[in-house]
Amino acid sequence: MIHLTSIVIVDHYYTPIMLAKRLATLDNLSQGRIICGLGLGWSKDEYQASNIPFMNRGERADEFIQVLKKIWTDDIVEFKGKYYDIPASKIYPKPFQKPHIPIYLGGFSSNIFSRIVKQDLNGWLGVIHGPLAQLQDSKNAIKQYADQMNKDSKFQTIVLSYPNIENDSPTNDRFPLTGTIDEVGRDIQRIKDMGVDHIVFGYNFVPTGRDMDKMISLSKELSKFAR
């Protein structure tokens, strides 16, 4: 079954200590309803504005994830790496979820998929941005890396989608999750059949996004297709 959930999506422009404390606080307030979605970022301008070098961002991300896990799990946190250095410290609060808040990594490159497996993350955070076959290819790539590294391949998948309901089916090639309610419903069923664990409905780019009641009503209707 595909569940609807809330996700905290962040990039590693933050210091890991402050981010870990903020997310742990939210996790306690929500009694374990937080999912940490991380992205490496692609904009050099954003890195420059954050005063963080764009080069070696993959290495930096690896350390960032390691630091997050240590802060959330170790009573005495100590880390000395190339990018982050934490002397022996007590850092609180600890998260409600054990051993730590689930961590998902977003992106579409082979480096992202291999990093999910190497770092023993909880799963992949994807976006439907083309044919649904691309979604299946990404899931297959993660499984292949898990097989190569002799690791458990049960990584979960969360996808962000932007459903756009139209009264009439488009006459040209239909983009996934665009069309009549039944066509969008069939897309959701196909996504479920691929083994996707969670689907998030976003309405940023359609008129429905300006009406909270319509967003809630449509999300409830679409969720029926995932049962």
Measured distance CA(166)–CA(133) in Å, rounded: 23
Answer yes or no: is 32 within a domain.
yes
Per-residue pLDDT of the chain (227 residues; tens, 9 = 90+): 443 344 544 455 788 999 999 999 999 999 998 889 898 888 888 888 888 888 888 899 999 999 999 999 999 999 999 999 999 999 999 999 999 999 999 988 999 999 999 999 999 999 998 899 999 999 999 999 999 999 887 899 999 999 998 877 665 678 899 999 999 999 999 999 999 998 989 998 888 888 999 999 999 999 999 88
Answer yes or no: is 110 within a domain.
no
| Structural domain that includes position 26 | 1-101
Using DSSP, how many helices (H) and how many strands (E) does the chain show? 7, 10
Measured distance CA(25)–CA(91) in Å, rounded: 12
Please state the domain count of the chain.
1
Q: What's the pTM?
A: 0.86
Structure tokens at 132: 């649904």
Answer yes or no: is 118 within a domain.
no
